[in-house]
Structure 1
């Protein structure tokens, strides 16, 4: 149930729940066995269709070329996971928060070297040493708000919103000097959402809807702790038994984008086109990226650098993961930015990161 405070884990007013946008275009490869090989990957990831499972999608230059689901989205009703099943993308939502800040920087409404204190009422002294760039790259040294709330006796099963999380962060002291090293913390992105609201005068979910989802015709919404039509239920597994997993927490900025894998790979094409934000935003995504150290070595990745809400690998591919409430997602974009893959599950599936890599290989080689 934990919103794990690590890179490989990895949410004012809330925006509307209806998924905005239009039907996505689909184009399927022909004359090869990519569809079959992709289906085989999903079947290996979800051996049985009778329990919770996963959905996956591959996009090429903004078009969905393959998508499928396997398993149950709701064990009580027996509803199956399909390509239209909605999932909580958890920490994969962070890229929208980072891009919102980059968008405002491009409009000269803020700067990444601005101190956090500029956007707070009665700021603690330490916030003068933390910049917006530190927040984006997880070099602020700030403790994760989940740990801070739990230290106050507020569990993930208790109600807690954005204000409670921010208050807990500002009442604490950073664990490390700002700018010293990478340390993944959801607090950074909750604070960035607050900065966006302070600068724009709009609720953060509304700003994201207006600036990203609507212009790109993405069927997405940003709604923490809200049931979205068609959304899967999430589960914890122990000894073959499944228990529903949910939390009334309502933080945003660090997570809470609700959508399908197909819509997420459509979004990925902005990393190629810069349709939203232009070349300045695209440069900002990786500019100043910081080393994450050995965080990824257990996955066979020797080095990685964290940019703006996304990890840059040595081969220039982009990747991020998210984990929250039993939802687990992996998002990856190829080095040439032409191909993207998203795999998301409603129960912990240890191989979903590997499955995403295999799917990307199938469609790029």
Structure 2
């Protein structure tokens, strides 16, 4: 394939901008292009955390301690009566009809971007704006609820649970869940001072590196956790209509190949994690300081290259 620096330039990133792009196929050595970062630089992963939250839920479901068809009220009894009609499965697939994240942010205590603040805001909602299972509506709050349910089912804080069930077994040695009180874990590149990363867990809260995230992709492609098939099962609405979102991961296609992907964003930060399981590829992009959507073009260019190479058409 063409050299990564050329693809980064073609997508519009300048040489002085901090960005790292990494690729790995099966167990081959990874390939990186880094500007101002290294493969082991710890960066906020934003919504890439959702696939890790979903993996924890899948492991707990496999253990028999968490039923994804059970009601949310069974794990968060402090929520209003509407939680009895929301299943954990709805939360996984973003079909729970929860209030919009912007509305919850406005209702949360000022400056409280913690899981507790999100749940407090949900507690103040007397009714849902829609019917659970009727439509797809992306919800960060839903994954905060999932993480809280996982904590309560396991009887352990999410950072410990993620460390012991995900990060340590997969040798993701520099990855951690972080709920503060400092805005970033020691040694990490902080997010923009004017917009510190939220301290909620489940929807975000994971800080990681390009090297560790490639390891994560390799583990899911090889089903090292034993739950990949579950994570990649598409959601369905109540009327049977399938969605293009599995358990914490988007389900797409490129050049005839399955693509599992998720983006992450925060003011001054863009991230992406992409996998082609049929071809064994894992791709990661971390761009602290980026407030644009150039990552989408860069991901497309990289996908063109790796799928073209697989077909024998790439120069």
Map 1:79-98 to 2 at 5 A: 80-98=36-54
Match of 1:313, SS?
Answer: strand
Number of residues of Structure 1 aligned to a counterpart in Structure 2: 296
Q: 1:342 to 1:175 in 2, by over 3 A?
A: same
1:342 to 2:284 alignment = yes
1:331 to 254, 266, 273: 273
Q: Structure 2: how far apart are the matches of 1:171 and 1:47?
A: 43
1:228 to 2:185 alignment = yes
1:360 to 292, 295, 303: 303
Which contiguous aligned blocks of 4+ residues in structure 1 show a shift greater than 4 angstroms? none
1:253 to 2:198 alignment = no
TM-score w.r.t. the length of structure 1 is: 0.75
1:56 to 2:21 alignment = yes
1:310 to 2:249 alignment = yes
Map 1:1-365 to 2 at 5 A: 34=1, 37-45=3-11, 47-50=13-16, 52-70=17-35, 80-151=36-107, 154=110, 158-172=111-125, 173-218=127-172, 219-224=174-179, 226-235=183-192, 244-247=193-196, 249-276=198-225, 278=226, 281-290=227-236, 305-314=244-253, 315-336=257-278, 338-346=280-288, 347-364=290-307, 365=309
Match of 1:165, SS?
Answer: helix
Q: Structure 2: how far apart are the matches of 1:230 and 1:45?
A: 29
Contact 2:44 2:191 in 1 (8 A): no
How far apart are 1:363 and its partner, in Å? Answer: 3.3
How far apart are 1:286 and its partner, in Å? Answer: 2.4
Q: Structure 1: how far apart are the matches of 2:231 and 2:246?
A: 6
Q: 1:46 to 1:63 in 2, by over 3 A?
A: farther
Contact 2:66 2:150 in 1 (8 A): no
Q: Structure 1: how far apart are the matches of 2:41 and 2:197?
A: 21
Aligned alpha-carbon RMSD (Å): 2.2
Contact 1:57 1:64 in 2 (8 A): no
Match of 1:252, SS?
Answer: coil
Q: 1:152 to 1:161 in 2, by over 3 A?
A: closer
Q: Structure 1: how far apart are the matches of 2:251 and 2:13?
A: 31
Q: 1:340 to 1:357 in 2, by over 3 A?
A: farther
How far apart are 1:324 and its partner, in Å? Answer: 1.7
- Counterpart of 2:313 in structure 1 is none
Structure 2, unaligned runs of 5 or more? 310-315
- Counterpart of 2:312 in structure 1 is none
Contact 1:328 1:345 in 2 (8 A): yes
Match of 1:103, SS?
Answer: helix
How far apart are 1:262 and its partner, in Å? Answer: 2.2
Contact 1:59 1:66 in 2 (8 A): yes
Contact 2:47 2:203 in 1 (8 A): yes
TM-score w.r.t. the length of structure 2 is: 0.86
Q: 1:233 to 1:45 in 2, by over 3 A?
A: farther
Q: 1:337 to 1:187 in 2, by over 3 A?
A: farther
Q: 1:124 to 1:94 in 2, by over 3 A?
A: same
Match of 1:141, SS?
Answer: coil
Q: Structure 1: how far apart are the matches of 2:185 and 2:108?
A: 30
How far apart are 1:123 and its partner, in Å? Answer: 4.0
Q: Structure 2: how far apart are the matches of 1:40 and 1:229?
A: 33
Q: Structure 2: how far apart are the matches of 1:47 and 1:316?
A: 27
